[in-house]
């Protein structure tokens, strides 16, 4: 049996935990797991930011707007090895309270695809990516937002928005 | 020919030498062959290449020995390797297959493709000869990843039939997983009953592809001895194997329903449960309906979903069974709840909690949650257990409702209406969706009521959403949607705006204009889009809206007037443009709209 290298193993374990979390949310909340998932994403982002600070001494910049918070988080994510490149994301500020987000080639596409195949609608998707961006806005800018996926896997792109509540 | 040989041996003009070599390839004289072989050592790759091509054309099998030497067959130039493969394929019989198999792994795609094409020719040749001794060579083809060759080899075995079985059984122990897997699949295609026990041994193989191949084969053979082992393979942790096991079992049909149901009842792994349910759904045996319905209340989401899909596959025969599962306790449980709170008598308290759990009464959820937080350990445990029972029961009703939405007919609407009073939000939510799917005047009437009155905003939202399609042309739908533009939930307001935009009743224009000043962008945007659908009918009110005290209304009205192309809007837009203290955003959009209107007039 081939031994899996540690980097791949790390991603594998992270993916297993994320899938487990998403599935548990659906076990308990059915087709409306967003309240549970949104809270989980908040915890996840907060832990991640703390770990980067505590373990690696990274400075986490606070933000004054939704857009700035997401941009900071992407920057942190690239530095922290979470994202390969900032170009995987496109941000469009419709107004200061509404940010449109496009994600190219998302790492979580497969798990969302499985849900779509089971009959889920796009708006039922919890989207760990945009969900974590929303959590980052709360953590970095102290702005409480809601989010929604608006299109899924159109030529590999997913779209959604974050809007201030 | 002599002059050609002279050019080949003496000329220093590469192009001339190359042309001469090519020409010599068509000659059959004895002296040509050594001259061509000699040129395989030429330092110029163009000349080498020509020699390889010419040797292929010359047609002497002895050339294979020369062409297969590393200097040619593994030349650093892929054109030479390509030509060598073509030549060897043309000159040799089945004995060159080894060489071609190596070339099929060449790093250059064109060499690989050529090797595969030549291999196909050799395989066809072997099949045409129907010589069982050559069947062994076909086994080597199984090691390739090329599906076309593998399939051809399989067809060859099928054509040659039983005399080849020995080779195939031996191949099941080959070190190559590809060979083991494809040999197993071939036995399946041959429907070789005598191979069952050989294939069953492969269930322990460490390679998933081999296990999947064996499972596929046993499914194709259809020997009932393999049913029980196949049921066990549904528990394999690799999807591919599990899927093949499901396919195989489906092939056995109702004959194997018993073992599957037994296995399902013992199964704790959710993926295996899902596989068994898929299997039962595809077989469609009415006897499995109670078992399938039982899994609608699984605590695992993916199991519930699969059970719904499986039930739906059975079609309308399940409707009565599903309707029966929708019932919920409506008797007064206040006395039980009081006993469940009574800490003076712990035994009575415990019995009351268990009774509530047994009744699966959702109305006790709040109380039970409190007991889980604050009760003594045994009370906490009993309350948790009761909550589990109640929760699963609610999922059961929910999923039954979902399935009814797929298989039910409008005539069942009266029978599902009581579920709109279910204490579980999830059940009411799913009932709303199902009513939307079933449609009809009665369903719409209740959806309108729920849209306005349900305490849960997501249920009101869903009711409005389904009314967009189910409620078209029904009385009261537009009235409630206009009213719900003021609902406390923004999601309800968004859906209401969308609904009004789909049914162009002029009475909706003013409420939508007001909604364009909503505090939420999504509501404003949906209202604007809805008004866009009204076109020129909305023009007059939009012009008035340019005077609104809300800047966002002025902004969106100006934008809309440009979009709908109402020429009457030109003077008011100019006025807005010149208005003192008007916001920059409004001015910009007014200017853009004016430009649109003016260009429309010009064209």
Supply the pLDDT for residue B373: 87
pLDDT-derived band of residue B62, with 50, 70 and 90 as boundaries?
Answer: confident
pLDDT-derived band of residue B316, with 50, 70 and 90 as boundaries?
Answer: very high
Supply the pLDDT for residue B4: 83
- A vs B, Cβ pairs < 8 A, gives 29
Which residue in chain B has the smallest CA separation from A99?
B521
pLDDT digit string (tens) for B356-414?
A: 999 999 999 999 999 988 878 889 999 999 999 999 999 999 999 999 999 988 999 99
Supply the pLDDT for residue A1: 64
Test B426 with A30 for CB contact under 8 angstroms.
yes
Q: Chain B closest CA to A74's CA: distance in Å?
A: 25
Q: Write out the two tokens for B305.
A: 């979903």
Q: Is residue B143 over pLDDT 90?
A: no
Test A97 with B395 for CB contact under 8 angstroms.
no
Supply the pLDDT for residue B352: 93
Which residue in chain B has the smallest CA separation from A114?
B302
Q: Write out the two tokens for B595.
A: 């430009």
pLDDT-derived band of residue B241, with 50, 70 and 90 as boundaries?
Answer: very high
Preferred mutation among A24, A27, A92, A149 to probe B, highest tally of B CBs within 10 A: A27
Kindly tell me the burial class for residue B113, based on how many C-beta atoms sit within 10 Å of its own C-beta (0-12, 13-18, 19 or more).
Answer: middle
Q: What is the dihedral of CA B470, B473, B475, B476, to 10 degrees?
A: 60
pLDDT digit string (tens) for B88-97?
A: 998 988 788 8
Test A27 with B301 for CB contact under 8 angstroms.
yes
Q: Is residue B415 over pLDDT 90?
A: yes
pLDDT digit string (tens) for B247-303?
A: 999 888 877 677 777 777 777 788 888 888 998 899 888 888 998 999 999 999 999
List, as ranges, residues 30-89 from A with C-beta within 8 Å of B.
30, 32
Q: Chain B closest CA to A30's CA: distance in Å?
A: 7
Contacting residues of A for B305, CB less than 8 Å apart = 118-119
10-residue block means of pLDDT along chain A (165 residues)?
A: 83 87 89 90 92 86 93 92 90 91 89 81 89 94 92 90 90
pTM across the whole model: 0.78
B463-490 burial, b for 16+ CB within 10 Å, e for fewer? bbbbbbebbeebebbbebbbebbebeeb
Test A30 with B301 for CB contact under 8 angstroms.
yes
Side-chain half-sphere exposure of B555, counting CA atoms within 13 A? 13
Nearest to A162 by CA among A147, A152, A143: A147
Cα–Cα distance measured from residue A10 to residue B521, given in angstroms and rounded to the nearest whole number: 40
Which residue in chain A has the smallest CA separation from B395?
A30
Contacting residues of B for A97, CB less than 8 Å apart = 521
Q: Chain B closest CA to A1's CA: distance in Å?
A: 9
Domain A6-164: which CATH class? alpha beta
Supply the pLDDT for residue A156: 85
**A2–chain B Cβ distance below 8 A for any pair:** no
Test B429 with A95 for CB contact under 8 angstroms.
no
Supply the pLDDT for residue B443: 95
pLDDT-derived band of residue B11, with 50, 70 and 90 as boundaries?
Answer: confident
A114-141 burial, b for 16+ CB within 10 Å, e for fewer? ebeeeebebebbbbbbbbbbbbbbbbbb
* Tokens 């899927």, located at residue: B243
Query: What average pLDDT does range B10-34 have in this prediction?
Result: 85
pLDDT digit string (tens) for B162-218?
A: 888 888 999 999 999 999 999 999 999 999 988 999 999 999 999 999 999 999 999
Supply the pLDDT for residue B516: 93
Q: Are B164 and B157 in contact (CB under 8 A)?
A: yes
Q: Is residue B479 over pLDDT 90?
A: yes
Q: Are B321 and B290 in contact (CB under 8 A)?
A: yes
Cα–Cα distance measured from residue B158 to residue B152, given in angstroms and rounded to the nearest whole number: 10
Percentage of chain B beyond pLDDT 70 is: 99
The torsion angles phi and psi of B27, rounded to 5 degrees, stand at: -85, 150
pLDDT digit string (tens) for B401-414?
A: 999 999 988 999 99
Nearest to B272 by CA among B309, B312, B243: B243
Q: Are B87 and B61 in contact (CB under 8 A)?
A: no
The torsion angles phi and psi of A99, rounded to 5 degrees, stand at: -115, 120
Q: Is residue B448 over pLDDT 90?
A: yes
Test A163 with B429 for CB contact under 8 angstroms.
no
pLDDT-derived band of residue B10, with 50, 70 and 90 as boundaries?
Answer: confident
Supply the pLDDT for residue B179: 94
| ipTM of the complex, rounded to two decimals | 0.79
Supply the pLDDT for residue A102: 95
Supply the pLDDT for residue B509: 94
Q: Are B542 and B555 in contact (CB under 8 A)?
A: no
Close Cβ partners of B96 (under 8 Å, ≥ 6 residues apart)? B64, B88, B89, B122
End-to-end CA distance of chain B: give it in Å, rounded: 78
Cβ-defined contacts of B274-277 (< 8 Å, 24+) = B274/B302, B274/B303, B274/B306, B275/B234, B275/B242, B275/B243, B275/B245, B275/B246, B276/B234, B277/B303, B277/B306, B277/B307, B277/B310
Q: Write out the two tokens for B475.
A: 């009385």
């Amino acid at each position: 049996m081939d031994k899996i290298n540690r980097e791949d193993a790390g991603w594998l374990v992270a993916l297993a935990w994320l899938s487990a979390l998403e599935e548990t949310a659906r076990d308990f909340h059915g087709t409306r797991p967003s309240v549970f998932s949104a809270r989980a994403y908040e915890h996840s982002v907060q832990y991640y930011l703390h770990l980067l600070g505590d373990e690696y001494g990274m400075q986490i910049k606070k933000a004054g707007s939704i857009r700035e918070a997401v941009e900071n988080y992407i920057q942190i994510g690239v530095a922290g090895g979470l994202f390969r490149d900032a170009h995987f994301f496109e941000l469009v500020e419709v107004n200061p309270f509404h940010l449109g987000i496009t994600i190219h080639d998302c790492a979580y596409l497969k798990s969302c695809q499985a849900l779509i195949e089971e009959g889920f609608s796009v708006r039922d998707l919890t989207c760990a990516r945009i969900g974590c961006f929303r959590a980052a806005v709360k953590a970095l800018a102290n702005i409480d937002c809601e989010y929604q996926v608006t299109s899924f896997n159109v030529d590999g792109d997913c779209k959604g928005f974050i809007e201030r509540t | 020919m002599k002059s050609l040989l002279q050019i080949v041996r003496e000329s220093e003009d590469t192009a001339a030498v190359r042309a001469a070599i090519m020409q010599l390839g068509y000659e059959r004289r004895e002296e040509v062959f050594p001259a061509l072989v000699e040129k395989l050592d030429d330092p110029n790759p163009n000349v080498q290449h020509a020699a390889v091509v010419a040797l292929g054309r010359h047609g002497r099998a002895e050339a294979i020995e020369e062409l297969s030497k590393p200097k040619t067959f593994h030349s650093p130039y892929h054109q030479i390797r390509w030509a060598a493969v073509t030549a060897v394929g043309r000159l040799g019989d089945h004995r060159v297959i080894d060489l071609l198999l190596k070339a099929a792994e060449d790093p250059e795609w064109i060499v690989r493709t050529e090797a595969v094409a030549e291999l196909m020719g050799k395989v066809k040749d072997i099949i045409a000869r129907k010589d069982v001794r050559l069947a062994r060579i076909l086994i080597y083809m199984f090691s390739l990843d090329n599906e076309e060759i593998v399939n051809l080899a399989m067809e060859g075995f099928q054509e040659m039939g039983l005399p080849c079985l020995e080779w195939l059984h031996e191949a099941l122990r080959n070190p190559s997983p590809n060979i083991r897997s494809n040999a197993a699949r071939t036995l399946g295609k041959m429907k070789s009953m005598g191979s069952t026990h050989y294939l069953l041994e492969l269930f322990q193989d460490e390679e998933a592809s081999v296990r999947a191949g064996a499972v596929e084969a046993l499914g194709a053979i259809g020997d009932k001895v393999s049913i029980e082992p196949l049921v066990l393979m549904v528990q394999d942790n690799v999807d591919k194997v599990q899927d093949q096991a499901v396919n195989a079992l489906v092939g056995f049909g109702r004959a194997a329903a018993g073992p599957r149901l037994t296995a399902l009842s013992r199964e704790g792994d959710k993926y295996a449960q899902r596989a068994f349910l898929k299997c039962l759904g595809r077989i469609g045996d009415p006897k499995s309906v109670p078992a399938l319905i039982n899994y609608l209340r699984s605590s695992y989401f993916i199991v519930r979903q699969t059970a719904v899909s499986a039930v739906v596959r059975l079609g309308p025969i399940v409707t009565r069974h599903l309707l029966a599962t929708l019932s919920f306790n409506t008797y007064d449980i206040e006395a039980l709840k009081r006993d469940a709170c009574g800490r003076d008598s712990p035994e009575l308290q415990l019995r009351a909690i268990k009774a509530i759990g047994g009744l699966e009464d959702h109305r006790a959820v709040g109380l039970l949650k409190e007991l889980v937080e604050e009760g003594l350990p045994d009370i906490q445990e009993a309350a948790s257990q009761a909550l589990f029972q109640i929760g699963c029961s609610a999922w059961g009703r929910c999923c039954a409702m979902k399935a009814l939405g797929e298989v039910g007919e409008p005539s069942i609407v009266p029978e599902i209406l009581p579920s709109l009073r279910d204490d579980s939000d999830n059940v009411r939510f799913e009932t709303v969706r199902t009513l939307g799917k079933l449609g009809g005047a009665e369903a719409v009437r209740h959806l309108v009521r729920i849209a306005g009155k349900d305490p849960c905003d997501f249920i009101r939202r869903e009711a409005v959403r389904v009314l967009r399609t189910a409620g078209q042309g029904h009385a009261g739908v537009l009235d409630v949607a206009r009213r719900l533009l003021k609902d406390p939930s923004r999601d309800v307001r968004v859906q209401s705006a969308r609904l009004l935009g789909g049914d162009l009743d002029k009475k909706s224009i003013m409420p939508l204009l007001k909604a364009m000043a909503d505090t939420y962008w999504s509501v404003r945007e949906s209202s604007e889009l809805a008004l866009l659908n009204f076109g020129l009918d909305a023009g007059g009110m939009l012009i008035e809206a340019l005077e609104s005290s809300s800047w966002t209304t002025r902004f969106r009205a100006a934008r809309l007037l440009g979009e709908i192309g109402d020429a009457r809007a030109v003077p008011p837009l100019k006025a807005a443009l010149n208005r003192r203290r008007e916001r920059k955003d409004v001015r910009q959009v007014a200017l853009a709209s004016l430009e649109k209107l003016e260009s429309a007039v010009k064209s």
